[in-house]
Amino acid sequence: MEHHDGLALEVDQLKKVFRDRSAREVRAVDGISFRVAPGEVVGLLGPNGAGKTTTIKCILGLVRPTSGRVTILGRDVASHYPGILSQVSAVLEGSRNLYWRMTVWENIEFFTGIHGLPRRQHRRYFEHLVERFGLADKRDVEVRKLSQGMKQKTAVVCALAKRTPLVFLDEPTLGLDVETSYELRETLKDLAEEENRTVVLSSHNMDVVQDVCKRVIIMTAGRVVADDSIEHLMGLFKTRAYRLVLRGPAPEGLEAGLAAHFPGLKVQSTPHMTQVRLRLPEPNDIYMLMDLLRDAGATIEEISQEEPDLEKIFLEIGRKERENQCNSRIP
Ligand SMILES: Nc1ncnc2c1ncn2[C@@H]1O[C@H](COP(=O)(O)OP(=O)(O)O)[C@@H](O)[C@H]1O
Ligand SMILES: [Mg+2]
């Protein structure tokens, strides 16, 4: 048996097969493996039904895996259960694990209390969290009287307040309005950087993962289809798509001249400025582009390469997966 000392989390060949009502097998998690180093902030990204929640529940020992092994901080979860749970905290999808008739502060004290954290010693940290999540003026309000967003933030605060080395957040921004979701992501990202804790965050929303995490594990249909740093994934899928801003209206004949060489051309012109979007067939075509612009008498105000977003990457990976599956069926 291989040993990987110093890992925060290791998931090895994890599999979970459910049976639905008609006793058909549902392979919710179909033999996935990944490792997470201490301090990493990892996103588990995939569409609904991909197996994210089941993976997290298996890691937390809430669902018994059909096969495979989970190791937390070097200890096998199955044989160190439930003691191992003192090392992790989690906010699970849909269930906010809060006492609705207790205030925000009472919930924090309660949940850290059963976790064995002496409240006096950690009071300042609780205050810091409440402050960071914008709950300071709500700390003495009963949870049931809070908005959906604030309940969600309180659940996250209660999880973080336990100060465990590992934190799991399953769809933490689900059901939040855009503004609250954005605010929560910002806070999570900052905290993750400051505290050097290991965070596994699941989401079906690429923006959330892209905003908070440095690494992403992409799941579809119970399998891992990509596991990479977000930066590297973006690099792999970098297109030669450019956006240029020219001074004044588009010079005459420019659009026709560009259209002859560059695919995906879009020109939007106003009396003050012209925006050009295009793709370069080859990297060195940038020189030809510059020549054409100079010959047309254009003044370049701005030039930028368009970043691919995770959404495009995600669709592309999904497409390749399906292609591979189709190919493998052809004898
Ligand atoms: N308790 C269960 N019994 C039967 N099937 C389940 C159960 N929990 C999840 N599933 C199925 O397993 C698959 C993965 O679900 P889930 O882990 O919740 O995915 P995700 O969190 O990525 O949306 C889905 O097809 C879901 O219907
Ligand atoms: Mg889920």
247 phi and psi angles, rounded to 5 deg: -75, 140
SS3 217: strand
Lowest mean per-residue pLDDT among 33-37, 121-125, 196-200, 289-293: 121-125
Mean pLDDT of 2-12: 80
Does the pLDDT at position 198 exceed 60?
A: yes
Give the number of whichever ligand sits closest to the CA of residue 54: 1
| 171 CA from centroid of ligand 2 (Å) | 7
Q: Residue 95's pLDDT is what? A: 59
Q: When comparing pLDDT for 96 and 299, which is higher?
A: 299
Mean pLDDT of 188-203: 91
| 27 CA from centroid of ligand 1 (Å) | 9
| 54 CA from centroid of ligand 1 (Å) | 6
Structure tokens at 96: 């906010």
**9-235 shares its CATH topology with 239-305:** no
- Ligand 1 atom closest to the CA of 57, numbered from 1: 17
| 275 CA from centroid of ligand 1 (Å) | 46
| 51 CA from centroid of ligand 2 (Å) | 7
Give the number of whichever ligand sits closest to the CA of residue 169: 2
Band of pLDDT at residue 320, cut at 50, 70 and 90? confident
Q: Which residues line ligand 1 (CB under 6 A)?
A: 18, 20, 26, 28, 46, 48-54
- What does 25-80 look like in DSSP terms, one character per residue? EEEEEEEEEEEE-TT-EEEEE--TTSSHHHHHHHHTTSS--SEEEEEETTEETGGG
Mutate to test the pocket of ligand 1, among 26, 30, 53, 60 (most ligand atoms within 8 A of CB): 26
Give the number of whichever ligand sits closest to the CA of residue 46: 1
Strands 166-170, 88-91: pairing kind: parallel
**Beta bridge pairs of residue 226:** 218
264 phi and psi angles, rounded to 5 deg: 65, 25
Strands 9-19, 25-36: pairing kind: antiparallel
Residues 226-273: tens digit of each pLDDT: 999 988 887 777 778 899 999 999 999 999 999 999 988 999 999 999
- Ligand 1 atom closest to the CA of 50, numbered from 1: 22
Give the number of whichever ligand sits closest to the CA of residue 219: 1
**Whose CA is closest to atom 7 on ligand 1?**
18
Does the pLDDT at position 109 exceed 60?
A: yes
CB 87 within 8 A of CB 167: no
Best-predicted range by mean pLDDT among 27-31, 47-51, 277-281? 27-31
Lowest mean per-residue pLDDT among 2-6, 158-162, 232-236: 2-6
Residues 41-92: tens digit of each pLDDT: 999 999 889 999 999 999 999 999 999 999 999 999 999 998 999 999 999 9
Q: How far is CA 303 from CA 192, 196, 274, 307, in A?
A: 33, 37, 12, 13
List CB-based neighbours of ion ligand 2 within 5 Å. Answer: 52-53, 93
Does the pLDDT at position 3 exceed 90?
A: no
User: Of 3.30.70.260, 3.90.1150.140, 3.40.640.10, 3.40.1180.10, which CATH number belongs to 239-305?
Assistant: 3.30.70.260
Does the pLDDT at position 166 exceed 80?
A: yes
Domain ranges of the chain: 9-235, 239-305
Band of pLDDT at residue 1, cut at 50, 70 and 90? very low
Mutate to test the pocket of ligand 1, among 18, 20, 91 (most ligand atoms within 8 A of CB): 18
Q: Residue 2's pLDDT is what? A: 46
9-235 belongs to CATH 3.40.50.300: yes
